[in-house]
Amino acid sequence: MIYSINFYLRIALQNLVVHKTRMMLALLGILFAVMSLVAFGNVSSSMKKKIDDEIGRFGKNLVILRAGLVFQAGRTTRQFSEAKTLKLADIKRIKESLQGVEEIAPYYDTTHPARHEDKTLRVSVIGVTDNIFTIKNAGLLMGRYFTQEDDRATEKKAVVGYKVYENLFDLKDPIGKNILIYRVPTEIIGVIEEKGTDLTGQDQDIIVYMPLNTFMRRYSNIDYIKGAYIQAQDGVALNEMKMRLRTFIRKMRNMKDSEKDDFSIFTMEDILRTREEGIRLVSVLTIIASTVSFLIGGLGIFAIMLLSISERKMEIGIRRVVGSKKKDIILQFLTESVIVALIGGIFGIAVGFIVTLIVDYFGGFPIMVGLQNVLIAIAISMIVGVLAGIYPAIQGTKYEPVSVLYG
């Protein structure tokens, strides 16, 4: 059996060498099909890994409650209608009574110019409780966070994002120095590590955090908030938490069934849904393109094998005369077609890895290599090789030795 396998492989490889140009054309379809399967499988895994990393980097198990309703202003932009119905007392009741809540950080946000000496930068000003830094995984580059004592005392202190530190202070130590917000001197006590843009499109590095009570009483003179960051306990599904929260708020406000919500609840997964739909669409298109490429590759192998059998009548006749059976002829030509498909698959995998590295590098994605994609590609290549070689191999057994040798 080992001799037979070695024999079939040697004949197949010799034929590939003799007709290398012809065989290259036959395996190109397989190569492109496997390349697209492997490359997209790896790149989509890389994109999903980056999304998961970003979710963890900007807040684990995070549900966002927002006063007012969300509406779509373009494909990727979300805006909010204003509402003044959400109070700190509401947040306290949610924290105390709603099951599954690990942490909750009420906030009020707005945009405003921040000034230091002759430099001005438009920033997102967020009045928030001190647990926001834990909820959003905001690590310190220098200084300290503000505390509950700072909040109770309405201290005019702020923790700023990296770009605020970079643009207003030229990367010089800002701790203890003041910036003007609403023309009010505000002491910098900490700088957050560089975080980049989150999945909502908000630049986390141009944020100025300050104690919530300080912002509400000394900067804005308001008695309501815009929303809250709610961290669900591990094991609690975010969709379940959304439903619980919505039901709780409506019940807390004694809202009738006919009344519409005046608040919005969403998660990072909601924000990512459009991106994931885009990934799924590209995945479908990739599968279609791969299927077409496999068909083209299979037809190419089919045509080449038919031509090869027609040209090798004498070889088939001689082998039949010296004792080869029909199954030996079938196995030989099936081996050749499978070898062609496998070579195309192997080159396709190699090119797919190269494409993966290029896309991941320029796209800023973590490099992910899926063994499953490789195994599927190899398996499909072998199946295509077998299917493309069956008919030509059977045709090869129809040549009678006498008619071939003396015809």
Q: Which of residues 194, 226, 258 is at a domain's end? A: 226
Side chain identity at residue 103, one-letter code: E
Indicate whether 284 and 373 sit together in one domain.
Answer: yes
Scan for tokens 């024999």, then name that residue.
7
Indicate whether 189 and 312 sit together in one domain.
Answer: no
Residue 164 has pLDDT above 80, yes or no: yes
The pLDDT-based confidence of 328 (bands split at 50, 70, 90) is: confident
The pLDDT-based confidence of 404 (bands split at 50, 70, 90) is: low
pLDDT of residue 74: 46
Average pLDDT (362-376) is 80
What whole-number percentage of the chain has pLDDT above 70?
A: 81
Indicate whether 292 and 351 sit together in one domain.
Answer: yes
DSSP states of 71-102: EE-SSS-EEE-------HHHHHHHHHHSTTEE
Side chain identity at residue 383, one-letter code: I
Indicate whether 198 and 286 sit together in one domain.
Answer: no
Angle at which helices 88-97 and 238-252 pack, to 10 degrees? 120
Q: Is 84 a member of any domain?
A: no
Q: Which of residues 164, 198, 226 is at a domain's end? A: 226
Instruction: Specify whether the CB–CB gap between 326 and 377 falls below 8 A.
Output: no
Residue 364 has pLDDT above 70, yes or no: yes
pLDDT of residue 278: 66
Residues 6+ apart with CB under 8 A from 265: 63, 64, 65, 66, 242, 245, 246
Average pLDDT (158-185) is 93
More confident residue, 178 or 298: 178
More confident residue, 28 or 403: 28
Tell the burial category of 166 from Cβ atoms under 10 Å away from its Cβ (0-12, 13-18, 19+): middle
In whole angstroms, give the CA distance from residue 205 to residue 58: 12
What whole-number percentage of the chain has pLDDT above 90?
A: 30
Least confident of 147-156, 252-261, 359-368: 359-368
Q: Closest Cα to residue 333, out of 378, 394, 380? A: 394
Residue 115: enclosing H or E segment and its boundaries?
Answer: strand 101-116
Q: Is 254 a member of any domain?
A: no
The pLDDT-based confidence of 70 (bands split at 50, 70, 90) is: low
Average pLDDT (254-265) is 86
The pLDDT-based confidence of 17 (bands split at 50, 70, 90) is: low
More confident residue, 70 or 287: 287
In whole angstroms, give the CA distance from residue 390 to residue 396: 10
Alpha helix ranges (H) inside 108-172: 132-135, 148-152, 162-169
Full domain range(s) for residue 113: 102-226
Tell the burial category of 329 from Cβ atoms under 10 Å away from its Cβ (0-12, 13-18, 19+): buried
Average pLDDT (42-63) is 74
Q: Is 92 a member of any domain?
A: no
Q: Closest Cα to residue 106, out of 85, 90, 122? A: 90
More confident residue, 207 or 389: 207
In whole angstroms, give the CA distance from residue 337 to residue 23: 10
Q: Is 279 a member of any domain?
A: yes
- CA–centroid distance for 265 within its chain: 23
pLDDT of residue 57: 63
pLDDT of residue 399: 64
pLDDT of residue 401: 61
Average pLDDT, the chain: 82
In whole angstroms, give the CA distance from residue 159 to residue 150: 12
pLDDT of residue 4: 63
Q: Which of residues 167, 195, 226 is at a domain's end? A: 226
Indicate whether 219 and 326 sit together in one domain.
Answer: no
- CA–centroid distance for 93 within its chain: 36
DSSP states of 181-216: ETTEEEEEEEEEPP--B-TTS-BTTSEEEEEHHHII
Q: Helix/strand/coil (H, E, C) string of 327-373?
A: HHHHHHHHHHHHHHHHHHHHHHHHHHHHHHHHHHHHHCCCCCCCHHH
Residue 143 bridge partners (DSSP)? 190
Side chain identity at residue 248, one-letter code: F
The pLDDT-based confidence of 143 (bands split at 50, 70, 90) is: very high
Residue 81 has pLDDT above 90, yes or no: no
Indicate whether 194 and 295 sit together in one domain.
Answer: no
Indicate whether 286 and 210 sit together in one domain.
Answer: no
Average pLDDT (59-86) is 69
Indicate whether 110 and 188 sit together in one domain.
Answer: yes
Written as six digits, the tokens of 344 are: 């195309």
CA count, 13 A, side-chain hemisphere, 192 = 25
Indicate whether 277 and 221 sit together in one domain.
Answer: no
Give the number of other CB atoms < 10 A from CB of residue 153: 13
Number of domains in the chain: 2
Residue 158 bridge partners (DSSP)? 188
pLDDT of residue 72: 47
Instruction: Specify whether the CB–CB gap between 85 and 262 falls below 8 A.
Output: yes
Indicate whether 289 and 402 sit together in one domain.
Answer: yes
Average pLDDT (223-235) is 90
260-306: pLDDT as tens digits: 888 888 886 666 665 666 677 777 877 887 888 888 888 888 888 88
pLDDT of residue 58: 63
pLDDT of residue 208: 95
The pLDDT-based confidence of 104 (bands split at 50, 70, 90) is: very high
Indicate whether 196 and 277 sit together in one domain.
Answer: no
Residue 406 has pLDDT above 60, yes or no: no
pLDDT of residue 75: 44
pLDDT of residue 27: 75
Q: Is 292 a member of any domain?
A: yes
Q: Is 137 a member of any domain?
A: yes
Q: Is 268 a member of any domain?
A: no
More confident residue, 12 or 328: 328
333-347: pLDDT as tens digits: 788 888 888 888 888
Tell the burial category of 7 from Cβ atoms under 10 Å away from its Cβ (0-12, 13-18, 19+): middle
Q: Is 180 a member of any domain?
A: yes
Indicate whether 219 and 299 sit together in one domain.
Answer: no
Task: State which of 8-12, 58-62, 108-112, 260-264 shows the largest mean pLDDT.
Answer: 108-112
